[in-house]
Amino acid sequence: MLLLVEILKMLAEIALLALAGQWVLGLLAGAKREQNLFYQLFQVLTKPLIAGARMVAPRVVLDRHLPLVAFLLLFFVWVVATITKIDICVRIGVHLCK
């Protein structure tokens, strides 16, 4: 069970970093971000996350806000996985969680 929680937490961290990286690179690149190779790579990585956020979010949410929705959902998943990992480690003993 601990392994599954750690995998979920790790995947959430990778996805959160990809969304944050896309946002920061979008700020730095400005209007020419669509031609930036690394921004395009981040778009490919985050496209499934944003599509999942579109399925969860109501239709009133604008498409330009979907990356924020995806980030917040992933942050919630990360928090729940972290709390679950701490709970499991306390129950089985911290020395077994290393």
pLDDT digits (tens, 9 = 90+) for 17-52: 999 999 999 999 888 989 999 999 999 999 999 999
Query: 12-15: long-range contacts (C-beta < 8 A, 24 or more apart)?
Result: 12/74, 12/75, 12/77, 12/78, 12/81, 13/78, 15/46, 15/49, 15/70, 15/74
Report the percentage of the chain scoring pLDDT > 90.
89
- Rounded to a whole number of angstroms, the distance between the first and last alpha carbons of the chain is 15
Amino acid at 70: A
